[in-house]
Amino acid sequence: MSPFEPSPEVAAALQEGRPVVALESTIISHGLPRPRNHEAAVEFEEILRSRGVTPATIAVLDGVPRVGLDAEGVRRIAEEDLAKASVRDLPILAARHSSGATTVAATAFLAARAGIRVFATGGLGGVHRGASSTFDESADLSTLAGCPVAVVSAGVKSVLDVPATLERLETLSVPVVGYRTDVFPLFWLAASDLPLDWRVDSPEEVAAILRAQEAAADGRLDRPGLLVANPIPVEQQWDPAEHDRVLEQAFAAAAEAGVRGKAVTPFLLGYIVRASGGVSLEVNLDLARNNVRVAADIAIALAA
């Protein structure tokens, strides 16, 4: 695989010990409609810059993993039809000199190797419903078990098997902390009924955990990261009754259409956006912005 290339801005910030936050590109290329996706990509970076934090949007362009994009790179991930690239896809893209948008797994993998310790995303991937027969589980979980990056996420999408996802994170020894919450957030909703063992109430507490992880690892890079479960503010969450109604409709539609395996989740998410009249999309953007802000605060505390 071609060596990753940090942008001059990111390289300088890392060398000088200034705060940096990684951002994934799949949320831009595959998660939002055009041209809204380009506006969001620029906005996420500006949220970080306004707080004195260097953004490191990550993608593979022409076979080279880029850690930090210039304006042209941001335009490309928003406007070009890119492959969805997880960790396993990186060498293939490199060999073919092709481009791809990085998933949570690939973004965490490349961020860790660049020396970036904080990563903001929308929602973490997880164990899919019915995984006991399909074995469908996101590579986000196993990758986070070996990449020392704090992932700030609003939980996992409620179309997934959330209790099973938390069990897998425990098995993989990935610590999960609730950011100012005692329960696991449910992506579009601020809270589930799943209690968390650990709560943190400040970015400084998260930074202290990251430093303790690093000290215990004695220089090893292949160590677990940290999931910072950051709920969307209650006033911005989707109406719970409407959320439940639309999800029930979505699962019924998938069953009626005979959708199976890995096609289920994309079908559900597309259905939910349409059935909600775009409400779920607006909530997605609100929770992503919130995660970027919290990630910025953690990166600042860590750099201090």
Shared domain for 73 and 161, answered yes or no, is: no
What's the CA angle centered on 119, arms 117 and 121, to 5 degrees? Answer: 170
The amino acid present at 31, given as its one-letter code, is: G
Residue pair 226/174 in contact (Cβ under 8 Å)? The answer is: yes
What's the number of domains the chain is made of?
2
Active site residue 157: yes
What pLDDT does residue 39 have? 97
Least confident window among 71-80, 127-136, 176-185? 127-136
Query: Final residue of a domain: which of 82, 116, 150?
Result: 116
Query: Final residue of a domain: which of 95, 116, 137?
Result: 116
When pLDDT is averaged across residues 276-286 and rounded to a whole number, the result is 94
What pLDDT does residue 219 have? 67
The amino acid present at 111, given as its one-letter code, is: A
Three-state DSSP state, 57: strand
E strands, the chain, are 5-6, 20-23, 54-61, 64-67, 83-85, 100-102, 118-120, 150-153, 176-179, 199-200, 226-229
User: Domain holding 81: CATH number?
Assistant: 3.40.1790.10
The DSSP-derived string for 151-162 is EEE-BB-TTS-H
pTM for this entry: 0.94
Is pLDDT above 80 for 281?
Answer: yes
| Pairwise CA distance, residues 78 & 28, whole Å | 6
Shared domain for 45 and 77, answered yes or no, is: yes
Choosing from 46, 157, 167, 262, which is the catalytic residue?
157
What residues make up the domain containing 232? 123-304
What pLDDT does residue 33 have? 87
216-243 pLDDT tens trace: 877 676 789 999 999 999 999 999 999 9
Choosing from 5, 9, 16, 24, which is the catalytic residue?
24
Contacts of 197 (CB under 8 A, 6+ apart): 176
Is pLDDT above 70 for 1?
Answer: no
Query: Final residue of a domain: which of 116, 133, 157?
Result: 116
